[in-house]
Structure formats: structure tokens, C-alpha cells
Amino acid sequence: MTADTTFKEFVEEEGLTFSLLEVDSLKYRKLVERFNEVKLKLRAEEEGRVYERARLVLVLNGQHVGEDLRNLHAGS
């Protein structure tokens, strides 16, 4: 399952036929619950990767600024 997977696709990946599911049945509710849990986990993982990339950019930019400042003072 990916972040773009729909509930229907999720159900079919589980080996079930979506159109045969009874809405509001216990099986349907459990599938919705599992689908939402997986979606939240995938979203959290993606946000973590985005945060880590942003942090890395800031760290690298900070190193460049620090190097530029050191070079500026060294040239004085």
C-alpha cells in the first residue's frame, strides 16, 4: 500500500471484493480502521522524511554560511 492507495484498492489488496462489502458491517469498519491506521503511518513517515530533508538543508546552508564568514574574516 502507498499513500495514494484508495480504500477500494486496499480492500482488493486484502483479497476481498469491494462491491460485496456491506457498509457498516463489522468487517467493513475493521477494514476502514486498518486502512486509516496505515494511511496515518505512511503520512507520518513522509512528514518525517520532509522534516529530515529540511533539517539537512538548513544544516548544510548553515555550514556554508559559517565557511563564508570564516573566509571573510581570514581575508581581513
pLDDT at res. 31? 97
Contact 46/56 with Cβ under 8 angstroms? no
Q: Which residue has the higher pLDDT, 54 or 6?
A: 6
CB atoms within 10 A of CB 21: 16
Cell of 68: 563564508
Give the number of other CB atoms < 10 A from CB of residue 18.
Answer: 15
Tell me how far CA of residue 58 lies from CA of 5, 53, 54, in angstroms. Answer: 32, 9, 6
Among 40, 35, 2, which residue's Cα sits nearest to residue 16?
35
Name the more confident of 59 and 43.
43
